[in-house]
Amino acid sequence: MRETWKKRLGITLAALVTLLNFSAPVQLIKNIPDELRVLDGQSYAINFNLPGGIEVKGENVEVVGSTAGQTLAEVNDGHTPLELKSSGSSGQLELSLFGILPLKTIDVKVIESQSLLVGGQSIGVTLYTRGALVVGTAEITDENGDLHNPAQEAGLLPGDVIISAEGMTIEDSEHLSQIISNSKSESIPLTVERNGETLEISITPVKDMLDDTMRLGIWVRDSTAGVGTLSFCDPTTMKFGALGHAITDLDTGTTLTVKDGEIMHSRILDVTKGERGQPGELKGTFLDNQEVMGSISKNTQFGLYGTCYDLPENPIYPDPLPIGVQSMVTAGPATILTTLDDEGIKEYDCEIVEVNRQSKPTAKGMVVKITDKDLLERTGGIVQGMSGSPIIQNGRIVGAITHVFINDPTRGYGIFIEWMLSEANSE
């Protein structure tokens, strides 16, 4: 009987905990972000929308507006929106029930206010990788007619980047071929990068019976080119951001490392309209004019970054616009800037339909829906080549387009501008 009673009590307690976990107040607390990022000197309205009796204590943060002069510790109504303003340094908000039961600690990060030249220009990208990217392996027939796959036997995989061979840094694929052809060693040491790790691999080349050339049995790539959109240029540092996502190898999906590269003015030749299940595309050319805009230094999952040689011109926003961090982004009307033809940059209406508050960078901070009739008529929504198109809301640049929804080309993701700036300014 006692065991049955304990079992029933355990089940009841488990059910109560589950119900409490999914209750409205607990879900509201969970939905409060762990971190708020605010601009220095700018206020931010937050509505906890929690039951009364919630006490808020603050450090280096003050309440402004109708409750100016109060400290957060004096505000106990969980339903009243609080307008917060940093005192110049990062701090914390602590939420507790009646000042007794801790509920949530929110880090308040203060970001320096700044203004950027807004992009929207179509750019051509030429990128030369560091080392040689392995995109495939192949069998080789030796002098005796026997088949070998030296790359596979050595453990090389598609997506590996060969950084050096026989202690020599690889300049490009041709350089790698020369090292292999001139090698007198039976086994060649390779330094390889794989998924962020450095590996040492030994490989035995095979003489190809077709041309008597020593080969490793690999297909490699050392460069790529394409079209995208410039997002911004910092007029103070001349650093730019573009695309909002990484340039990856078409065959392996590997993010390409950067040895060097350039961005150039691009001319859009044609637009393939996007449809459900079939992304559209901007088709452009840039190699015929060689109007170089800047050099590339980084290719990351959050975009392409480097330095502009000259300040880019934007006829719609000739002067820099202030940035808007994610705490200032709201669901509602916005615009994007992009280029579809020789008429240059145009501004198109869109709507931010979802804002995903983040404490760590991702390329999916916002869900954006294209509402502009002209843009929908011409492109169907978001197409390849529009990645990097800056997003403007309330007179501020708040981010850039990154990806399109395959099954709904009218919608796509956007990255917050603060993450792009962090990438642009980091080493």
Catalytic residue among 90, 231, 266, 387: 387
What are the pLDDT digits (tens) for 260-308?
Answer: 899 999 989 999 998 888 888 888 887 666 688 999 999 999 999 999 9
Residue 269, both tokens: 């030749």
Q: What's the CA gap between 263 and 88, in Å, rounded?
A: 37
Domain contains 360: yes
C-alpha neighbours within 13 Å on the C-beta side of residue 215 = 22
- In this structure, are 149 and 210 located in the same domain? yes
380, exposed or middle or buried, with CB in 10 Å at 0-12, 13-18, 19+?
A: buried
pLDDT mean values, one per 10 residues, the chain (427 residues): 57 50 52 71 62 57 44 48 61 68 74 90 90 87 84 88 90 87 82 89 86 84 89 96 88 84 91 88 77 91 94 94 90 96 94 88 91 95 94 96 93 94 85
Q: Supply the pLDDT for residue 71.
A: 44
Q: What is the largest CA-CA distance in the chain?
A: 89
Are both 280 and 363 inside the same structural domain?
A: yes
Per-residue pLDDT of 388-412, as tens digits, reads 999 999 999 999 999 999 899 999 9
The one catalytic residue among 172, 231, 245, 389: 245
120-157: burial string, b at 16+ Cβ within 10 Å, e else: bbbbbbbbbbbbbbbbebeebeeeeeeebbbbeebebe
Q: What sign results for the dihedral spanned by CA atoms 73, 79, 84, 90?
A: positive
* 107 is known as an active-site residue: no
Same domain, 77 and 171: no
Structural domain count, the chain: 4
Q: Do 383 and 228 form a contact (C-beta atoms < 8 A)?
A: no
Of 109, 114, 78, residue with least CA distance to 95 = 78
The rounded distance, in Å, linking the Cα atoms of 74 and 67 is 10
346-350 contacts at long range (C-beta below 8 A, 24 or more positions apart): 346/120, 346/316, 347/120, 347/316, 347/392, 348/372, 348/374, 348/375, 349/375, 350/391
- Strands 35-39, 101-111: pairing is parallel
Sequence-ordered list of residues with C-beta below 8 angstroms from that of 145, at least 6 positions apart, any chain: 209
Kind and range of the H or E element at 55? strand 54-59
Does the pTM surpass 0.85? The reply is no
Known catalytic membership, residue 387: yes
Q: What is the edge-to-edge ordering of all strands in the sheet holding 82-86?
A: 43-46, 82-86, 61-63
pLDDT on residue 248:
85
Q: Are residues 86 and 7 in the same domain?
A: no
Asked if 80 and 184 sit in the same domain, the reply is no
Give the pLDDT confidence of 141-185 residue by residue, as tens digits.
888 888 888 888 888 988 889 999 888 998 888 898 888 888 776
- Is 372 in the active site? yes
Answer whether residue 235 is part of any domain: no
Q: Are residues 40 and 18 in the same domain?
A: no
| Given 222, 234, 249, 372, the catalytic residue | 372
Residue 387 is part of which domain span?
116-123+261-290+311-425
pLDDT given for residue 13 in this prediction: 53
